[in-house]
Structure 1
Amino acid sequence: MVTALKRKPVFSIKPKPFLMLRVLCYLSVCSLLLLSCNYKTSLVQDAVAAWSFADQNDQAGFNSSLLEQGSVKFLNLEGDEKRSSIESGNDGKAVYLDGSSWLDAGQGINDELNITGKGITLFVRMKSDSIKEYNPLLTKSGNDQTIAYSVALRKIEQDVYIEAMLGSDDIGGAHLLKYKLPKEESLNWHNILFRFNGKISELYIDGILRDNEVTVGETRDWNNHPALIGAQYEQPYTNGDSAKNTIEATFRGWVDCIAIWNQFLPDERGASLSGVAALKKDGLPEYYNEKYRPQFHFSARKNWINDPNGLVYYDGMYHLFFQYMPPHRPGAYKDWGHAVSKDLVHWEQLPSHITPHKVWAGCWSGSAVVDKYNVSGFKKGNESPIVAFITNGGNPNDGLGPKCTQNIAYSTDGGKSFTYYDQNPIIKNIHEANRDPKVVWDEDSKKWIMSIYMDRGYEFALFSSSNLLDWKQLSTISLDRIAECPGFEPFPLDGNKNNKKWVFSGANGNYVVGTFNGKAFKPETGTLVGDYGNNLYAPQIWDNAPEGRKIQIAWLSTNRYPDMPFEQQMNFPAELELKTTPGGIRLLRTPVREIRNLYDSEIKWQRQVIPQGDNPLSELKGDLYDMDMEIDLKKATSFDFSIRGATIKYDVAKQTLRCGGTAERSGFPPDNWKAYIRKNPDQLNNMGEAPLAPVNGKIKLRVLVDRTTLEIYANDGLVVMTSCFMPDETKHYALTADETINVEATIHSLKSAWTLNRK
């Protein structure tokens, strides 16, 4: 007989469901913590320093232990914040800094926090509970010329930015990336990832790319300030004596993790740190649709630009280089930014800049040519060399680079990349800031001719070369009211290739017509005004343009428009022709024909009679137009053409064309370099004034209207007036006269050139 034994319950008392749930949760959290510790350790194992803030110790290979300063609190996060920390691969612990406390990492136990070379990654996971003007998170600080690296929060008025900065002696300053946080996210937890590889820097916030920049050079490694968490040194200089320097601690909030690598972490590592499956590259701002952004005049996505440089046409593409300067660089240390176009209208900005040279310093203005016959010897493969001539210079009085020399950078891959010539400089410094080399081919002497501004009044020098490498000075010349950025070009007079003249121009657009015998330029005219407006400066002509066209573009020097990421713009490309006129030989300038690629709707008038007081333009409401008019003034003594708050006026008796409005100008250039000084400046001519005689009682006007720009071409480009303005959004368009006028007109509204280039 088998007696069944009664099984005793495992629990001596009846189990409670909530107790079981707590046990399971506890085990789950323990598993997550264990997984997190192993996961985080694997993520930071090759970092030079990493702190998870369970205590002061470093999780990386070296123990760069932190020193506490002030009321530093190491604490356990709770609830959702703890869970979020663990899910991000951290350990649920953080340090709280109260706005007066900080942590000091020194230089690292073996100076490992002095990062060197062309690779660095910084990671910070933080949450602020209040934000002052500047809130340092991680800094090895100094000014633009001494800083090593930093991550910080900055409040500007009501906007909060996350900023990352990296110092490099190669640019004599610092690289800055930033992202404006949405107001509702300014006090949230954020994963901040900054990385740099010697070519580009990137800033990711919560796994999304928010800013990037072409970034060259090596990380500044001689800054001997300690690395600080939650604070910065107020004084820029690094003498190693922290007792003589004041520390400013303003960050108030929590820091969950900080890690530093001396490498550019790959995407998968960055994604893991940021707590996302993959880094997203589509978070950059949408550029080119901002309120004051020019819609068919070139501007860079962001930052400052000025003089066009290195204009060449090669293999179906127009290359536009330009002076480009991100913030936190000294003015001498600019790049040559780079954009390309197939039609001079639709531009694509490229990351292939020409950047400052470690020895010869910043990239000032210059030119480029296509070396079709490889006289330079640079050719490799099938591509003709593109040879760029650059003034490299610094600010010697500030210890930033040598005085200006003329140097070469060349491309053997169609302009995708450039290499500095190893025998630079090709022309040593002659006088102070001698600069702006412009190189052209002279068919008669079979030589390349270079013109340079000598930085002595209005003096220029001419040089020649047969191989683009070895240059001989030919002559010097001074030209009244012409300075900087020379243009020295041969032109067929009236289209006759057998009757060639040379035009010598300067940065303000003024020019002189004459002859060139292979050694010296002989003027045949006085100085002629090239543009009667406010803003045109540093024009340059494309080398190697098809059909022998002389195509020019220039910088429009102006103020920064409110809240815009870009600063400065170019004029619309124009074609130049040298013609004989009743007033003598003149250079005529008209918009390139490719503007037709932007034409949208059309309005056409044939000999329309406009009675006194009528306004045939009353229905126009847009901000982008190409307006081509011929106005018969046989009965009228004047007319007014109003465009969004600016007014073009013509006075028949005075034979004067004027433009006035809310002019935008930067105060540059100085008066002695201005193209044209108005005798009686006022609100009627503060955007331009020019003499203009009717032809058979008629005036021709071609006006390009962009959001903040007017380009006025009168009588087929004999007179040109280029000015920037602040539009009046309450006003539109009007054409009125004191008597009846007859008008023939073709008006095209224009599409934006930037439709496909928003990012």
Structure 2
Amino acid sequence: MNALLALLIVFVLQGVGFAQSEPYRPQVHFSPREHWTNDPNGLVYFEGEYHLFYQYNPQGDVWGHMSWGHAVSKDLLHWQELPVALPEHGGEMIFTGSVVVDERNSSGLCAGGTPCMVAVYTGHHIIGGDSKRYTQDQNLAVSQDRGRTWSFYKGNPVLDLHMKEFRDPSVTWNEPRKAWLMAVALPDDHVVAMYSSPDLKKWEKISSFGPAGDVAGQWECPDLLKVPVEGSAESVWALKVGLNPGGLQGGSGEQYFIGTFDGTSFKRLPSQQENGWTDWGKDSYCAISYNHLPAGEKPVLLGWMSNWEYAAEVPTKPWRGQMTLPRRLSARLVEGKYVLVQQPVVEALHGAELKDASAAVATPVEYRVSLQPDKAGSAGVRVRYDATHWVDVGFDVKRGVMFVDRSHSSVPVAKGFAVRTEAKMLRSLPLDLDVIVDASSVEVFAQQGAIAMTNLVYPPSGQVALEPLGAEVKMRARGWTLRK
């Protein structure tokens, strides 16, 4: 009995020590056990598993030696980290790309003709050891065993324009043409080029989109997806494009365009000449959607939760980088225009409902809030960590903006971190908030999910409580602890 008790004490102390050494480790967001991560890659559903590949440095906690890390999940929430899928090799770093399920063995790469997984990725080749001299091209790798092991295609590259900046292929099945479709970025030209292929090997350019919208930085991580319109049997097409730098809030960010796609070209709807933003915060970038989802399932978007302004300076160890929560997408016609609506995949994690949202609880936690503004036109809540650290979330109705202010949230991080981020309000929608607080993040979905705003935080306390932002603000709030 004494020996058993001693063993239990050692186990508990080890667990406490691990938690204390990683105070910012997210509990309901994916992060790798160690080292650096950035863009999600190759999101695909296959044989009962959601796959998450991601940009990964197996050798350290800063960018470099880019390879594809790999994790799988049955529910998009609980992830099993697997060995590196696509390692840097032969002077080629493995940049962002897609994974498709080749059900028809159109590529001829699936053993025995059974469906296999094919990765289409950007190869980054440094010339003469000078990191400023490089080329980028598109390549294939194949897995016959549900993504556990991979082999590089001997005929690589499959698409090479002999350019320095040419990356991030988003590949899907193009039903109108009965062929594969690739949307790939020409970053310096602010163009997304569309290519078609019968077999994933031979690619023909069929159209291009851009420049359009914001062009202050390079275009990256394009994603063309069909999105169902709420309350109807119709759909619209959304083309999402990363922008770095030049994002709305500084650093990296993502815009989207709403339009039509006829199997050859994407065109904006006449009523949608203004671009939208998939996330109005500082810390959601290169979000991409899942391929090969079960029939009837809404599109699912997942992004990297950081910003290139300070990603290498965030105070986490032994890892840097994490992912947003997965978000199910739909489109809604609001005030004469379509907006993307995002609903976080989180409800399955609900634990006990909080009896009092103003009582301090340990993160992670979710709050759902309805607000009525005060006489000055303000309505919001304060997510309080302690007497000197908090995040304010709410609406300035007179100015017509929704905001998240993290300027008092964190230990010192980097220049440009302590900021207030803002989004345009939709005046026809209610003032509601869905606030998800993890160890180092606050994700907000406002106005029924029509606004998403993601921000990292690094508070000295892991306890939070919710209170109205102002004595006259009226709020109705429900809260739940979230189980890992």
TM-score normalised by L of structure 1: 0.54
Pairing partner for 1:291 from 13, 23, 42? 23
Deviations 1:503-540 (A, max 9, x none): 11112321001112222211122211221101111001
Checking the alignment, whether the CA contact within 8 Å between 1:431 and 1:455 is kept in structure 2 is no
Confirm whether residue 413 of structure 1 aligns to residue 156 of structure 2.
Answer: no
Amino acid at match of 1:295: Q
Identify the match of residue 169 of structure 2 among 437, 447, 463.
437
Whether contact under 8 Å (1:352, 1:417) holds in the other structure is: no
User: Secondary structure of the residue that 1:657 maps to in structure 2?
Assistant: strand
Distance, in Å, in 2 between the alignment partners of 1:329 and 1:559 is 8
* CA-to-aligned-CA distance 1:484-507 (integer Å, 9 cap, x gap): 00011122333645x332211112
CA distance in 2, matches of 1:395, 1:413: 31
Aligned ranges for residues 531-542 of structure 1 at < 5 Å?
A: 531-542=279-290
Partner in structure 1 of residue 381 of structure 2:
641
**Cα separation, 1, equivalents of 2:377 and 2:474:** 13
SS in 1 for 2:369: strand
Match of 2:317 among 564, 574, 587: 564
In the aligned structure 2, how far is the partner of 1:583 from the partner of 1:708?
37
Identical-pair percentage: 29
Query: Deviation at 1:553?
Result: 0.6
Is 1:575 the counterpart of 2:320? The answer is: no
Alignment partner of 1:297: what SS? coil
- 1:513 aligned partner, one-letter code: I
Paired residue secondary structure (1:344): coil
Cα offset for 1:445?
Answer: 2.3
Give, as a single letter, the amino acid of the residue that structure 2 aligns with 1:378. Answer: L
CA distance in 2 between counterparts of 1:745 and 1:491 reads: 30
Q: CA RMSD in A?
A: 2.9
Report the structure, 1 or 2, having the larger strand content.
Answer: 2
Maintained 8 Å contact 1:370/1:387: yes
Match of 1:392 among 104, 117, 123: 123
Change (3 A) 1:310 1:641: same
1:159-192 Cα shifts (integer Å, max 9, x gaps) = xxxxxxxxxxxxxxxxxxxxxxxxxxxxxxxxxx
Aligned residue for 2:230?
Answer: 494
Are 2:291 and 1:555 equivalent residues in the alignment?
no
**1:656·1:691 contact (CA, 8 Å) conserved in 2?**
yes
Partner of 1:585: 338
Alignment check: 8 A CA contact 2:96 2:169 kept: yes
CA deviation map 1:278-332 (0-9, x unaligned): xxxx9xx958972110111110000000000011100110000000013369956
Structure 1 residues 435 and 737, CA, compared in 2 at 3 Å: closer, same or farther? closer
* Secondary structure, aligned partner of 2:341: strand
Larger RCO (CA under 8 A, 6+ residues apart): 2
- How far is 1:451 from its partner? 0.7
Query: What are structure 1's unaligned runs of at least 5 residues?
Result: 1-281, 605-615, 669-680, 754-759
For the 8 Å contact 2:182–2:196, the answer to whether it is kept is: yes
Kept in 1, the 8 Å contact 2:365–2:436? The answer is yes
* Aligned residue runs from structure 1 range 308-457, under 5 A: 308-327=40-59, 333-358=65-90, 361-381=92-112, 383-396=114-127, 398=129, 403-457=135-189
SS of residue matched to 1:533: coil
Cα distance in 1 for partners of 2:72, 2:462 equals 36
Alignment partner, residue 305 of structure 1 = 37
Does residue 461 of structure 2 align to residue 729 of structure 1?
A: yes
Sort the Cα spacing of 1:287 and 1:324 in 2 relative to 1 into closer, same or farther, 3 A.
farther
| CA distance in structure 2 between the aligned counterparts of 1:451 and 1:561, rounded to whole angstroms | 32
Instruction: Assess if the C-alpha contact under 8 Å between 1:602 and 1:748 holds in 2.
Output: yes
Superimposed CA distance per residue, residues 192-243 of structure 1 (whole angstroms, 9 cap, x where no aligned partner): xxxxxxxxxxxxxxxxxxxxxxxxxxxxxxxxxxxxxxxxxxxxxxxxxxxx
Deviation, 1:367, is 0.8
Q: Secondary structure at the match of 2:200?
A: coil
CA distance change for structure 1 residues 428 and 332 in 2, over 3 Å: closer, same or farther?
A: farther
Q: Which has the larger radius of gyration?
A: 1
Q: Taking structure 1 as reference, are residues 394 and 333 closer, same or farther at Cα in structure 2, changes over 3 Å only? A: farther
Q: 1:465: Cα distance to partner?
A: 1.1
Q: Distance in 2 between matches of 1:739 and 1:586?
A: 33
1: distance between equivalents of 2:461 and 2:414?
25
Quickly say closer, same or farther: Cα 1:330–1:533, change in 2 above 3 A: closer
In the alignment, what sits opposite 2:213? 480
The one of 321, 335, 352 equivalent to 1:601 is: 352
CA 435–692 in structure 1, closer or farther in 2 if over 3 Å, else same: same
SS at match of 1:456: helix
> What code does the residue aligned with 2:176 have?
D
Give CA-to-partner distance per residue, 1:530-574, whole Å, 9 cap, x none: 211011110010101123320111001235443620101111111
SS of 1:535's equivalent in the other structure is coil
Instruction: Note closer, same or farther for the CA distance 1:745–1:431 as it changes in structure 2 (3 Å cut).
Output: same
Give the Cα–Cα distance (whole angstroms) in 2 for the partners of residues 715 and 693 of structure 1. 7
- The amino acid of 2:366's aligned partner reads D
Distance 2:75 2:462 in 1: 34
In 2, the alpha carbon distance for the partners of 1:682 and 1:601 equals 33
Aligned residue runs from structure 1 range 84-95, under 5 A = none
Cα distance in 2 between the residues matched to 1:333 and 1:730: 33
Shift of 1:469: 1.7
User: Are 1:518 and 2:263 matched, yes or no?
Assistant: yes
- Judge conservation of contact 2:135–2:162 (CA < 8 Å) in 1: no
Post-superposition shift, 1:721? Answer: 0.5
Q: For 2:192 and 2:464, how far apart are their aligned partners in 1? A: 45
1:562 partner letter: P
- Aligned 8 A contact 2:165 2:188 in 1: no
Secondary structure, counterpart of 1:369 in structure 2: strand
Cα gap change, 1:714 to 1:487, in 2 (>3 Å): same
In 2 relative to 1, CA 393–583 (structure 1 residues): closer, same or farther, beyond 3 Å? same
Equivalent positions of 1:229-248 (< 5 A) are none
Partner-residue secondary structure (3-state), 1:460: strand
Partners in 2 of 1:304 and 1:702 — Cα distance? 29
Judged with a 3 Å threshold, the aligned counterparts in structure 2 of structure 1 residues 628 and 601 are, in CA distance, closer, same or farther, namely same
Query: What does residue range 741-752 of structure 1 map to in structure 2 within 5 Å?
Result: 741-751=473-483
CA contact (8 A) 1:533 1:689 kept: yes
- CA pair 513-397 structure 1, distance change in 2 beyond 3 A: farther
Q: What are the superposed Cα offsets for residues 248-287 of structure 1, whole Å, 9 maximum, x if unpaired?
A: xxxxxxxxxxxxxxxxxxxxxxxxxxxxxxxxxx9xx958
Question: 1:732, CA displacement in angstroms?
Answer: 3.7
Q: Partner letter of residue 347 of structure 2?
A: R
Aligned residue number for residue 503 of structure 1 = 238
Note the residue ranges of structure 2 that are not aligned, 5 or more in a row. 1-13, 243-252
What CA distance in whole angstroms lies between the structure 2 residues aligned with 1:579 and 1:689? 21
Contact conserved, 1:636 with 1:739, CA < 8 A, in 2?
no
> Per the alignment, in what secondary structure is the counterpart of residue 510 of structure 1?
strand
- Assess if the C-alpha contact under 8 Å between 2:439 and 2:462 holds in 1: no
Q: CA deviation at 1:399?
A: 5.1
Cα distance between partner residues in 2 of 1:504 and 1:439: 13
Q: How far does residue 447 in structure 1 lie from its aligned partner after superposition?
A: 2.1
